[in-house]
């Protein structure tokens, strides 16, 4: 199964559907990092879950993620 809806309504995507989801985010950000605005190739875009991924918070919907470059993703996690 590539898309699963949890009992509390969250969407979890895997495999091919997660790649399609990444493409939606990449199109939304118009090939630019949503943190710093620099041009970003699709292969290097990282999906940042703004509400977290662990402890039952992961929600693979466009409203809950950002398309970031590696440095901005690291910064978002305080590294």
Q: What is the pLDDT of residue 40?
A: 96
Q: What is the pLDDT of residue 57?
A: 84
pLDDT band at 79 (very low <50, low <70, confident <90, very high): confident
Buried b (16+ CB within 10 A) or exposed e, 2-40: eeeeeeeebebbeeebeeebbeebbeebeeebbbeeeeb
Q: What is the pLDDT of residues 48-62, one digit of tens each?
A: 999 877 767 889 999
Q: What percentage of the chain has pLDDT greater than the value 90?
A: 81
Tell me which residue of 53, 55, 57 sits closest to 76, measured CA to CA: 53
Q: What is the pLDDT of residue 28?
A: 97
Q: What is the pLDDT of residues 24-39, one digit of tens each?
A: 999 999 999 999 999 9
């Amino acid at each position: 199964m590539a898309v699963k809806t949890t009992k509390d309504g969250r969407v979890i995507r895997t495999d091919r559907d997660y790649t399609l989801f990444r493409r939606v985010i990449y199109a939304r950000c118009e090939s630019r990092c949503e943190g710093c605005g620099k041009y970003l190739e699709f292969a290097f875009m990282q999906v940042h879950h703004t509400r977290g991924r662990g402890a039952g918070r992961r929600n693979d919907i466009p409203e809950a993620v950002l398309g970031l470059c590696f440095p901005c993703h690291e910064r978002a996690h305080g590294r």
